[in-house]
Amino acid sequence: MARPATSGQERPTRQVTAKRPHTFPLMTALTIVITVLACLFLGRWIFVRMEVKQRCAGTFADRFVLILNDGSARELNDGEKAHLNGEYKFGDGNRPYIKPRYNSLTPDGRMFGYLRRSKLPGSVGNQRLAQ
């Protein structure tokens, strides 16, 4: 059988199907977000458990020095270590102020507070800590 003659090239007909929405990028993004949140939650839980164990053992306060209002640092005495190792609720006004940075001030504008030894600047840390 002979095909009828047509002018130009003939295009094959395509079957038109409905396009499905692409759910892969959405599912991938959702999976990544859930994984990151789970890792953050797990890391925070482990960190809190570690701090609770250190407080119970009485070694939590060994990582801190006391920053005085003049900016100098000194070692903690036994009473301050006991205060820092204590268990406190979230809204307790007697909680010790643990500074996030050396230059952080208390809400009433003082420099006083407990600071991790690792965050003590070299200019202050190089001086011998007062007992």
- pLDDT tens for 71-111 read 888 889 999 988 888 888 888 888 888 899 999 998 888 99
According to DSSP, residue 93 is labeled T
Of 113, 107, 126, whose CA–CA distance to 64 is shortest? Answer: 113
Contact 114, 99 (CB under 8 A): yes
The pTM assigned to this predicted structure is 0.58
**47: enclosing H helix or E strand:** helix 24-57
- Per-residue pLDDT tens over the stretch 3-29: 665 555 666 677 766 666 666 788 888
- Per-residue pLDDT tens over the stretch 82-91: 888 888 888 8
Alpha-carbon distance 116 to 129, whole Å? 14
